[in-house]
Amino acid sequence: MVDGTRRVVTKELEADAPRGRPRDEAREQAILDAAIALVAEIGYDAMSMEAVASRAGVSKATIYRRWNGKAELIADAIGRMHPQDEFADPDDTGSLRGDLMALISTMFAKISGIDGGLFCGLAVAMRADSDLGRLLDEGKRDYHERIQRLIVSRAQARGELPGSAEPPQLMDVVVGVSLLHLMSGRPLDSEFADYLVDRVLMPLLRS
């Protein structure tokens, strides 16, 4: 997904000599954009394929030529969705706690954006495309590990952590607990961020 390899779900011919009129790649993106926008706005099952087609300025047939159905379209759309700034390295705030808080703020903003419909759409789409979860995961895993190493090594350089620190996957903990928090109807506010940093992340790093 991150590299050039296309998603599996997309119907592809992969003919050696591409005959006939080629598909318009711009339309593909327009459809994906429209799908993401609609799911985020009104939710997965309130979103109709006609609405996607209409917003993308495309005919329904053009959608079904590329994807086999609603769930598959959403699966692909979410799978290919990547805020462009996601993979940037975070700034050095000068302290471990500051770095962690900055990281969590970014994460909260992103998860909050995936509120409601989109998360629900993701859950449904996962049923139809069991590879989705894996693909979603693979794209982020490398980035998450890099961020974690960066923050840890900065803290070690500052003397805040011992050189032997070997913490678990912190990002998994952050995202998992935050998701659960959200599902319980509680807000991703600064109080929760403090709790996460001081009672979970710091102890794990210092263990």
Binding site for a second copy (CB under 8 A): 43-45, 116-117, 119-120, 122-124, 126-127, 130-131, 133-134, 136-137, 167-168, 172-173, 175-186, 195, 199-200, 202-204, 206-207
Q: In degrees rounded to 5, what are phi and psi of residue 27?
A: -60, -40
What is d(CA 30, CA 190) in angstroms, rounded to the nearest whole number?
36
> Which lies closer to DNA via its Cβ, residue 49 or residue 171?
49
**What's the per-residue H, E or C state across 78-125?**
HHHCCCCCCCCCCCCCCCHHHHHHHHHHHHHHHHHHCCCHHHHHHHHH
- CA distance between the termini of the chain: 35
The entry of a second copy, DNA, none that residue 181 binds, CB within 5 to 8 Å by partner kind: a second copy
Q: CB-wise, 84 or 130, nearer to a second copy?
A: 130
- Pick from a second copy, DNA, none: which does 44 bind, CB < 5 to 8 A by kind? a second copy
DSSP code of residue 197:
I
Give me the least distance between CB of 43 and DNA, in Å please.
12
* Contacts (CB under 7 A) with DNA, residues 62-121: 62, 64-66, 68-71
Binding mask 8-37 for DNA (x = CB under 7 A): -----x-x-x-xxxxxx--x----------
Among 32, 58, 118, 152, binds DNA (CB under 7 A): 58
| Contact residues for 66 (Cβ-Cβ < 8 A; gap 6+) | 10, 11, 23, 28, 31
Q: What angle do CA 107, 111, 114 make, to 5 degrees?
A: 150
Binding site for DNA (CB under 7 A): 13, 15, 17, 19-24, 27, 47-50, 57-62, 64-66, 68-71
